[in-house]
Structure 1
């Protein structure tokens, strides 16, 4: 892709939208946890997302919603549903920056799972990425030096779930549009969450609705903004912008919740992000 200054600025603006969306979801999840069960606001979020995606598809053509791979969609969304539950639970319990730092291991798990599920080669660069990722996690969790919060392992499990989702997405994206994947994501997850949400249903207080609408919209805009950024610039340009999520969410956590972040978290996250960047640059050179 021939990059110009306007392309980079445009990609940067779209990624800013994605960063704001991710942080809005985290803050929304934290605020809603005081009034509603996680499964209930996940269900409402899926309904809001379904309305948004359905309206977009109605304008752009409903023909793209043809369901061709129901089994892959089902497995993808089951893993994503479980990962999202773990992520929303975690943001209500531990510091936001810690959640985002551990979540950055998702590309590492994706590389490992893709090796077995898609037959992708485990190159030297990918092995280095995996080792740096595990080292970063050890620095963040510091086993043996202090008590590890069990919720950190829930975030790790969520990262594995997200990575499995990415592998299924790669299979679907070969001949399915992004809107097709998003439509069945929110649709199936609304079905998954219906009965569990009804079992613990509480009438949402009026103050919760702005946050419910926020996480419903942000879930769509985060994916849409990243897709638009990728159209304007290569992954090697876009991905480093995404890593700005960590310092931004650390600042938000400090300002809103007085959350303190230590040097070990940034050091561990730095190793994880370094490994991810190495892998992205290597893949870019290989495909170029």
Structure 2
């Protein structure tokens, strides 16, 4: 198996794990508070990552850019809380379609925070994606939980932008460990004041969510290290197919035509179409005569 083929497989498996995390949250069905979910998920994540962090050298374990890491830790808390609310009250496909608006939101945020100057084509493509979001969240079908889905997308976009301020030499394990650690104090305090009795089954769902999200993060990193993003990016959207199938089979949620149209408009601007066309032209270009 070639490197890019393996990367595609890793990314598809990773997106399936992310879908299982969403299903676990859906099965919690709001029986515990979002604050309780946030704390327990981050605690489980920290416990799982700690052995991997500890076996690194002291230099690799060291924290760099504490302000950025603390900010990203609390973005995780806000995003995971919003995600739980949106998945609880919205169909899986609808909520995930809005989550995929995160890359679109990165464009205006990068202009604001990183002073980047995107091309006119990129601005146009992003605008098309936002039209897709409006179609998915059309007024006739609007639900207040959609605002929480937008909150998840916004925090995810900020989370991804801030990663650019971390040194490339810092390992993924170290980044995840410090981010999880810094998210514990605030989430623990909030959970303490909103704690609800929970069964072992509910805790199992939270643990499954934490394990699956960690699995997705690890597989995504492994995939993007094996192949250029342009060759495998389409695999990211396998997650939308997974949530649509599981939503239909497990929760009797059938996305309508407008939802699929909106999803298409969200995904289309994120695909590296120009790069694919350039590669295709190079492959079909006749050899020059000597």
Looking at CA atoms only, which structure, 1 or 2, has the larger radius of gyration?
Answer: 2
List aligned pairs for 1:175-214, cutoff 5 A: 175-214=169-208
CA distance in 2, matches of 1:271, 1:7: 30
Please say if residues 93 and 240 of structure 2, whose CA atoms lie closer than 8 Å, have aligned partners that are also in contact.
yes
From 214, 217, 236, the equivalent of 1:220 is: 214
Q: Equivalent residue for 1:154? A: 148
Alignment map for 1:99-248 (pairs within 5 Å)? 99-143=95-139, 146-248=140-242
- Show CA shifts across 1:62-91 (max 9, x none): 432212211111122222221121011111
Q: Give me the whole-angstrom Cα distance separating, in 2, the residues matched to 1:214 and 1:241.
A: 23
Q: Is residue 12–residue 238 contact of structure 2 (8 Å, CA) maintained in 1? A: no
The DSSP-based 3-state class of the residue aligned with 1:60 is coil
Is the CA contact 1:125–1:278 (under 8 Å) kept in the aligned structure 2? no
Deviation of the 1:45 alpha carbon:
1.1
Matched, 1:81 2:46: no
Where do 5+ consecutive residues of structure 2 fail to align?
A: 280-290
Corresponding residue for 1:46? 42
Equivalent residue number for residue 282 of structure 2: none
Structure 1 residue matching 2:18: 3-state secondary structure:
helix
Count of matched residue pairs: 278
The counterpart of 2:66, out of the listed 51, 64, 70, is: 70
Q: Deviations over 1:156-197 (max 9, x none)?
A: 122111101111111114342212221122111222210111
Does structure 2 conserve the Cα–Cα contact (< 8 Å) formed by 1:129 and 1:279? no
Q: CA deviation digits over 1:260-282, x for unaligned, max 9?
A: 21111111111111111148849
3-state SS in 2 of match to 1:127: helix
Q: Distance in 1 between the 2:274 and 2:42 partners?
A: 31
Give, in whole Å, the separation in 2 of the partners of 1:258 and 1:46: 30
Does the 8 A contact of 2:83 with 2:152 survive in 1?
yes
The answer for unaligned runs of 5 or more in structure 1 is none
TM-score by length of 2: 0.90
- TM superposition outliers: structure 1 runs of 4+ over 6 Å: none
CA contact (8 A) 1:22 1:218 kept: yes
Q: Describe the superposition over 1:228-281 as per-residue Cα deviations: whole angstroms up to 9, x where unpaired.
A: 011111101221001111121011011111112111111111111111114884
- Of 251, 255, 258 in structure 2, the residue corresponding to residue 257 of structure 1 is 251
